[in-house]
């Protein structure tokens, strides 16, 4: 197999981790079975820079990252080192069955560019929908991707092909909300996959991934910036229709009342329909006065 065909069939599996991680060796072992040609890249937060590029552990390439790096920043670093045509991003704190991981690469083979994990209704201890999930769902709604629910690039597993990576930009993956906006703007084909993780597994993942977890305030800030990016691409009305209102009339004081804007009437109708409406009111008033006068007699 020549190098070009090898790159096209190669699956790059990227795993963010930190120095004290436990489950990584088992995850690497499963990841290497996702495809016939697989490279595994471990991006380790806090690893000294001199350990870069040349170090391999459990048959996986190890890449250093800042000690304060978040999981999404580690994924962006891993994407820069990936050589495969398919990139699969995992989380260190949870191990999924091999069959579940293959669902992501299979969806890409069907023609999709970006495959997200379906976001369930993750509840807090008080039985309310988590505020982070609400932010994910709001962004998807504004993107016109309501079918994505609360799915997000904040949460792995997810997968994308080389076309999607180039459209989004490798360095933009460190801000998942903005990366999703770019994916929709580039008209990438997006779908969902149910990973099959249980609620118990999700809790374990949350606890195990604390060293790489992103603060809630930062998630909200990034989603606010992503929404601003979306509005800049469309307009202040988010590309929603304006109801054929003649807003220019509001800027012409003395000509028409503001309510004429909502009647959808133009300047040409000023003396006809709108003027006629203003004349009808005194006429109705006179009729009511005459009727009351007759009743009093």
240: buried, middle or exposed (CB in 10 Å: 19+, 13-18, 0-12)? exposed
Which tokens is 81 given?
Answer: 């080192």
Q: What is the pTM of this model?
A: 0.72
Region for residue 66 given its phi and psi (left: phi exceeds 0; alpha: psi -120 to 50; beta: otherwise): beta
Q: What is the mean pLDDT of each run of 10 residues along the chain (297 residues)?
A: 65 89 85 95 82 70 91 95 96 86 95 91 57 92 93 95 96 95 96 69 46 90 92 61 53 47 45 50 69 71
Report the C-alpha gap between 273 and 269 in whole angstroms.
6
CA distances from 3 to 10, 170, 269, 294 (A): 10, 22, 71, 100
Per-residue confidence (pLDDT) for residue 261, from 0 to 100 = 42
Report the C-alpha gap between 81 and 163 in whole angstroms.
16
Per-residue confidence (pLDDT) for residue 88, from 0 to 100 = 97
Per-residue confidence (pLDDT) for residue 297, from 0 to 100 = 63
Number of CB atoms found within 10 A of residue 172's CB? 19
Per-residue confidence (pLDDT) for residue 57, from 0 to 100 = 83
C-alpha angle with apex 168: 167 to 170, nearest 5 degrees?
110
Number of CB atoms found within 10 A of residue 278's CB? 9
Report the C-alpha gap between 32 and 13 in whole angstroms.
8
Q: In what order do the strands lie in the sheet with 190-193?
A: 56-57, 60-65, 38-45, 11-18, 86-89, 158-161, 114-117, 190-193
Per-residue confidence (pLDDT) for residue 12, from 0 to 100 = 97
């Amino acid at each position: 197999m020549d190098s070009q065909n090898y790159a096209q069939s190669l699956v790059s599996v990227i795993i963010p981790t930190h120095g004290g991680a436990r489950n990584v060796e088992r995850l690497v072992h499963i990841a290497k079975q996702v495809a016939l040609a697989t490279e595994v890249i471990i991006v380790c937060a806090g690893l000294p820079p001199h350990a870069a590029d040349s170090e391999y552990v459990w048959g996986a390439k190890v890449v250093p990252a800042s000690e304060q790096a978040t999981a999404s920043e580690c994924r962006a670093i891993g994407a820069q080192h990936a050589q495969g045509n398919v990139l699969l991003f995992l989380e260190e704190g949870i191990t999924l069955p091999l069959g579940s991981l293959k669902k992501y690469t299979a969806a890409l083979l069907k023609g999709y560019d970006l495959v997200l994990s379906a976001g369930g209704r993750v509840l807090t201890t008080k039985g309310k929908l988590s505020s982070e999930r609400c932010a994910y769902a709001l962004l998807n709604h504004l993107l016109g991707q309501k079918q994505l629910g609360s799915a997000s690039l904040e949460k792995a597993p997810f997968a994308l092909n080389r076309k999607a990576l180039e459209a989004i930009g490798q360095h933009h993956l460190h801000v998942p909300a903005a990366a999703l906006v770019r994916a929709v703007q580039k008209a990438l084909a997006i779908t969902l996959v149910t990973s099959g993780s249980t609620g118990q597994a999700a809790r374990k993942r949350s606890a195990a991934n604390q060293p790489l977890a992103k603060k809630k305030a930062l998630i909200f800030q990034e989603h606010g910036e992503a929404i601003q990016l979306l509005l800049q691409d469309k307009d202040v009305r988010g590309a929603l229709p304006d109801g054929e209102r003649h807003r220019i009339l509001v800027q012409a004081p003395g000509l028409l009342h503001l309510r004429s804007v909502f009647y959808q009437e133009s300047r040409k109708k000023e003396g006809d329909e709108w003027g006629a409406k203003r004349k009808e009111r005194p006429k109705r008033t006179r009729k009511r006065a005459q009727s009351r006068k007759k009743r009093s007699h």
